[in-house]
A and B are shown apart, each in its own frame.
Chain A
Amino acid sequence: MSERVLLATFEHEDDLLAAVAAIRRKGLQIADAYTPYAVHGLDRAMGLRPSRLPWVCFICGMAGALGMLWFEYWTAAIAWPIDVGGKPWNSLPSDVPVAFEAAVLLAGFGSVFALLGVSRLFPGKRPRIVGPRVTDDQFVLVINETDAAFDADEVTRLLQGFDVVSTEERLTDRKGRL
């Protein structure tokens, strides 16, 4: 279903942060914010949930370490025991470096691919940019007009208190994309 949204453009991050706080105080829904760089404190101001990516990283890392420890134990002590300098077949100290490397490798790849997957980034993807200057010097706040009582003029007046440069109403496509 397509939705109506209001795009508000700002020139300064402080204006954006203040506007986000004001919009949320009014009980309106913020769909997203587009900025040329990571704005400190924006995630907190928008009330975003903490990222779940660290969990993916941790689970992949543990899977790498434990899986590799098991694999080394299985190869060196069960499937094909090899005597190295008279040491026991099952020698934990010799297993640590490879287990560590496997943990780092899986944690790294796991987080990167999970991030790409969640953000739907893939080779050949056509970027949809909300406005060309969000990659340069402008900040765009996208506000949902889901509420029937949404009054675009009133919100625009509110935003003018934060030096909004321009506001614009748009329809998203059927998947809710701009």
Chain B
Amino acid sequence: MMTRSYPPTAQTRVLKWLAIAGAIAIAIGCIRAPDRIWGNALVGTFYLLTLALGGAVFVALTYVTGAGWHVAFRRVPEAMARIIPIAGAALLIALIVKMTSYGWHAHGHGDPGTFWFKQLWLDPPFWLIRAIAYIVLWSLMASRLCARSRQQDRTGEAALSAGSTRLSAMFLGVFAVTFSLASVDWMMALEPMWFSTMWGVYNFAGMIQAALAAVVVLGLLLRSHGGPLHGVFNDEHLHDLGKLQLGFSCFWMYIWYSQYMLIWYSNIPEETFYFVARTHGAWGPVVVLSIVLNWVIPFFVLLPKSAKRSGRVMMRVAVVVLIGRWVDLYVMVFPAIKSGENRLFANPVFGLWEAAAICYLVGTAGLLLLRSFAAAGPIPRNDPYLPESQHYHAG
């Protein structure tokens, strides 16, 4: 059942070189183009943290809904959930080293006349303590959830699953509130005078979509070439993941459009400037690209049943969605980076520094996830739902 030599050394070697080359280029970039490196660092660390958090949400959601279909490959989202602490630490470093990139921090607490609550909320020490609190909370709850599943591997105690369901329900409640606040603190606060009540759910939509894509990519990698999930992660699981991928790509589009349409329709300058900066000029095509990658391609490609059951198609769509997630975050962050009153990136930039950051992200994320997966048995062998997961038909 288990192959000891996993992951293949060729795969890890490529990932290591990507990470090393990316790290060297980033180190040079810190001197040559610090603003771009910071933007990339925020995009990259938020990307990784939300991917990890998405894994935890996937696990928690399946516990509270009493799902059984996913158990055979649950170690994949668990592996993602277990990197929350390190991804969170990376994000905290990015936040701390250049807190001045947040406009409100540079000029005190925003412009005179700013609503008092916003001044209080964006007070730098409070803002930073909150960030630490979110990450610590997520880390503790997610690692507890994964630890219980590993404990069940050893003891075989079915009652552990019931406790995990209660813990998952608690985690989802905590997550809903804290993730909304976190996305506002870290992303929306880049432009402190702008606001959108769709922001939390918009970030959630992107997060869960990318997390599903990551589960697909990892699952397929781990089942290929006689990997540990060979014969475990089957086309039925893929089919259901494909349905979720298709559904959540529509959810992302729906939320994106709902946010855009209300602002476009009411046409109030204090709201529209966010989209003016992102849809006018050269940023326009980037927004269109993000819509194509996050919705148009996954939607039309994944409609047929045969596509959802094909590892080749699912792998490609998942990679497209993962790229789309990066573009989505890139459009959120880069136009917002300012020096004084000027937008530093009035036009999209893509060059060595972005490529280096992406290489570093792919390399480290791959290594972290593979290591995290290898830290436990490849399947939760004593989970009461495991037989159901191995024998069911997705239809």
Contact = CB atoms under 8 A, between A and B. Distances in A.
Interface of A: 40-41, 50, 54, 58, 85-87, 93-94, 96-97
Given A40-B395, A96-B261, 10 more contacts: A54-B303, A54-B304, A54-B305, A58-B303, A85-B265, A85-B267, A87-B267, A93-B257, A94-B261, A97-B261
B268 to A, nearest CB: 11
A50 B393 CA distance: 16
Nearest to A43: B395
A58 B300 CA distance: 10
B345 interface: no
A60 to B, nearest CB: 13
B303 A93 contact: no
Contacts of B257: 93, 96
Contacts of A86: 267
B126 interface: no
Nearest to B394: A40
B77 to A, nearest CB: 26
A86 B260 CA distance: 18
Given A41-B393, A93-B265, A94-B265, A50 B260 contact: no
B393 A40 contact: yes
A85 B265 CA distance: 9
Nearest to B264: A93
Interface in B180-200: none
20 contacts: A40-B393, A40-B395, A41-B393, A50-B305, A50-B306, A54-B303, A54-B305, A58-B303, A85-B265, A85-B267, A87-B267, A93-B257, A93-B261, A93-B264, A93-B265, A94-B261, A94-B265, A96-B257, A96-B261, A97-B261
Contacts of B393: 40-41
A50 B264 CA distance: 43
A86 B265 CA distance: 11
Interface of B: 257, 260-261, 264-265, 267, 303-306, 393, 395
A81 to B, nearest CB: 18
Nearest to B393: A40
A28 B161 CA distance: 48
B260 A93 contact: yes
Best-buried of A58, A86, A93 by chain B (most CB within 10 Å): A93
A85 B303 CA distance: 38
A63 to B, nearest CB: 15
Contacts of A85: 265, 267
A172 to B, nearest CB: 31
A96 B250 CA distance: 14
A54 B306 CA distance: 12
B252 to A, nearest CB: 15
A110 B352 CA distance: 51
Contacts of B395: 40
B392 to A, nearest CB: 8
A-B pairs with lowest CB-CB distance, top 8? A40-B393, A93-B261, A93-B264, A41-B393, A85-B267, A96-B257, A58-B303, A93-B260
Contacts of B261: 93-94, 96-97
A33 B260 CA distance: 51
Nearest to B300: A58
Contacts of A40: 393, 395
A93 B265 CA distance: 8
A41 B261 CA distance: 44
Nearest to B257: A96
Contacts of B303: 54, 58
A85 B264 CA distance: 11
Contacts of B305: 50, 54
Contacts of A94: 261, 265
A59 to B, nearest CB: 12
B261 to A, nearest CB: 5
A54 B305 CA distance: 9
Contacts of A54: 303-305
A93 B393 CA distance: 40
Contacts of A97: 261
